[in-house]
Chain A
């Protein structure tokens, strides 16, 4: 039925983290895998991210965080998505995520946790295999 479906991905930099080389490399890898990638730029608040998801209707949201604020920001983003009845979007966080924080983030519905040195094709496959719709 779907004649021309494309995987649409939102790449985000939440919070005060000002380092987006990784996010840009990721955006490009996803583009080269044939996906439509929206990059929003730096310093996104949870409200801005949820607003963007609401308007752009992506299949996946990739949060890139190197600042250490993931435990503070990710649950807020997940709660606000739920408030807006968005439950069919894959939400992933990557960057610098310590091993011991992963169970906490998983409980909040986040996946992925890819860090520096991950091969790009691993992340591309991860997106393709974990879509919720």
Chain B
């Protein structure tokens, strides 16, 4: 199928074309490949902001408020909200727009809801491609809201420039704060609902955790990585009220500070390289696993191997090595 008409409309700023292209990349991975090939040279201008946090921490309300602020600064904003798909029926309720009512009518804001369709890690398979479409559409800022995360839905850190984690007062003690996972990928901690009791305690917990982390000396064998560690960003922390908008001005300054840090330190380039690496790896995994599946179901040699494994004269690891040889990608 030819998508050049839609892509031309997208590049001319047509919202309907954006929506259709996102549907295509969601539904059809072959279409995604062709669309990304066609628009890739038009991407790379948007600043990508990842918002994550546990269910009910106020992500959608927070995004609504910060979007208003960016819109006042004259920015064009794209928002992608990911919600979970039911593992039983495959259906999903996408309810993030409810909290973003104020932004529906803003001309420069494009909001898209997305079901994760069973993908782990907090995003959908198509999220990164949808980000590219919004980038080519000319968005200055793209905000990605992950599903309400637990402690290891950290994929956002591979695709965003700045990761903001929302915390709420009174949730979990300081042990929660030193667990691995989302606490390690954060650039800015936001304690939302600052009017509730315990917001200062929450800030103290996080600060303590950050101090522990800074005292931990880690030397990598990789020279590049070592240089990056020297340039390490110390996560910022701030409390806000997403309903009244209190403290959003200083928060927006913190985001700018992080953005400037990425640029000035050169870390931005390292991040970008890592992002492309991990994305390519994803694509390769998908393509190779499709090939392998095709092979396993059609090649008669596989049946011979299976029999050998069943007779215990071959083991599954050795069989895997033989299949790699069959594929010719050793």
> Which label, helix, strand, loop or mixed, suits the secondary structure of the B interface?
mixed
Q: Which residues of B contact A84 (CB under 8 A)?
A: 16
A39 touching B98, Cβ below 8 Å: yes
B91 touching A55, Cβ below 8 Å: no
Interface range for A: 20 to 34
A56 touching B19, Cβ below 8 Å: yes
The answer to the question of A27 belonging to the interface, with a C-beta cut-off of 8 Å to chain B, is: yes
CB distance from A2 to the nearest CB of B (A): 5
Q: What is the bound-complex CA distance between A127 and B20, given in angstroms?
A: 20
The answer to the question of A67 belonging to the interface, with a C-beta cut-off of 8 Å to chain B, is: no
The answer to the question of B90 belonging to the interface, with a C-beta cut-off of 8 Å to chain A, is: yes
A6 touching B115, Cβ below 8 Å: yes
Q: What is the bound-complex CA distance between A6 and B113, given in angstroms?
A: 13
Query: Which chain A residue has the least Cβ–Cβ distance from B86?
Result: A31
Q: Mark A26-49, 1 if CB is under 8 A from B, else 0.
A: 011011111111111101010110
Q: Which residues of A contact B189 (CB under 8 A)?
A: none
Q: What is the bound-complex CA distance between A28 and B91, given in angstroms?
A: 9
B113 touching A30, Cβ below 8 Å: no
CB distance from B306 to the nearest CB of A (A): 28
CB distance from B152 to the nearest CB of A (A): 25
Q: What is the bound-complex CA distance between A27 and B83, given in angstroms?
A: 15
A39 touching B28, Cβ below 8 Å: no
A52 touching B97, Cβ below 8 Å: yes
Given the interface pairs A55-B110, A56-B112, A56-B113, the reply to whether A28 lies near B93 with Cβ below 8 Å is: yes
The answer to the question of B26 belonging to the interface, with a C-beta cut-off of 8 Å to chain A, is: yes
Q: Which residues of B contact A33 (CB under 8 A)?
A: 89, 91
Q: Which residues of A contact B278 (CB under 8 A)?
A: none
Among B19, B104, B112, chain A packs the most CB atoms within 10 A around the CB of B104
Query: Which A1-59 residues have C-beta < 8 A from chain B?
Result: 1-6, 8, 27-28, 30-41, 43, 45, 47-48, 51-52, 54-57
Query: Which chain A residue has the least Cβ–Cβ distance from B81?
Result: A38
Q: Which residues of A contact B28 (CB under 8 A)?
A: 1-5
Q: What is the bound-complex CA distance between A45 and B105, given in angstroms?
A: 10
Given the interface pairs A27-B93, A48-B104, the reply to whether A36 lies near B115 with Cβ below 8 Å is: yes
The answer to the question of A73 belonging to the interface, with a C-beta cut-off of 8 Å to chain B, is: no
Q: What is the bound-complex CA distance between A55 and B18, given in angstroms?
A: 8
A34 touching B91, Cβ below 8 Å: yes
A55 touching B29, Cβ below 8 Å: no
A57 touching B91, Cβ below 8 Å: no
Q: Mark B71-113, 1 if CB is under 8 A from A, else 0.
A: 0000000000000011001111111011001001100001111
Q: What is the bound-complex CA distance between A54 and B20, given in angstroms?
A: 9
The answer to the question of A119 belonging to the interface, with a C-beta cut-off of 8 Å to chain B, is: no
Given the interface pairs A3-B29, A36-B92, A48-B105, the reply to whether A57 lies near B23 with Cβ below 8 Å is: yes
B94 touching A36, Cβ below 8 Å: yes
The answer to the question of A86 belonging to the interface, with a C-beta cut-off of 8 Å to chain B, is: yes
A55 touching B94, Cβ below 8 Å: no
Contact surface of A with B, Cβ cutoff 8 Å: 1-6, 8, 27-28, 30-41, 43, 45, 47-48, 51-52, 54-57, 84-86
Given contacts A4-B26, A54-B16, 19 further A-B contacts (CB under 8 A): A3-B30, A4-B29, A5-B27, A6-B26, A6-B90, A28-B93, A30-B91, A31-B86, A32-B86, A32-B91, A33-B89, A34-B91, A35-B91, A36-B85, A36-B92, A37-B91, A41-B97, A47-B105, A52-B97
